[in-house]
């Protein structure tokens, strides 16, 4: 499974505005409340402390948004590999999007 290319860019490669969710993390366009897609909180480890950041994207990356929703979900879902309904739905959506 090639997941890396469709994951988020590494946070240290992003601008301050992208890290704060002001600009799209993928293309750098400035977001408005109407165009922003919330990609969910992401864990970030800084000097041994775990914190979160809240990446957002513009509406031009819907496939990635679905895929990222899956990533975010599986990070926090303990039963995903045992047939979780939400995980199944997201995985199906991701497969559809690849066709
Ligand atoms: Zn974008
Ligand atoms: Zn799950």
Q: What's the pLDDT band for 98 if we cut at 50, 70, 90?
A: low
pLDDT at 15: 96
Q: What total of structural domains would you count in the chain? A: 1
54 C-alpha to ligand 2 centroid (Å): 20
Contacts of 26 (CB under 8 A, 6+ apart): 9, 57, 58, 60, 61, 64
pLDDT tens digits for range 78-97? 898 888 998 888 788 777 76
> What's the domain range around 23?
4-98
38 C-alpha to ligand 1 centroid (Å): 12
Q: Which ligand is nearest to the CA of 29?
A: 1
Ion ligand 1 nearby residues (CB, 5 A): 24, 26-27, 58, 60
């Amino acid at each position: 499974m090639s997941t890396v290319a469709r994951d988020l860019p590494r946070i240290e490669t992003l601008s301050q505005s992208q890290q704060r969710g002001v600009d799209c993390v993928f293309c750098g366009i400035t977001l408005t409340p109407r165009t922003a897609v919330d990609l969910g909180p992401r864990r970030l480890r800084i000097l041994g402390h775990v914190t979160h950041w809240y990446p957002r994207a513009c509406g031009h990356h819907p496939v990635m948004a679905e895929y990222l929703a899956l990533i975010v979900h599986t990070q926090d879902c303990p039963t995903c590999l045992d047939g979780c309904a939400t995980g199944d739905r997201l995985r199906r959506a991701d497969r559809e999007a690849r066709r």
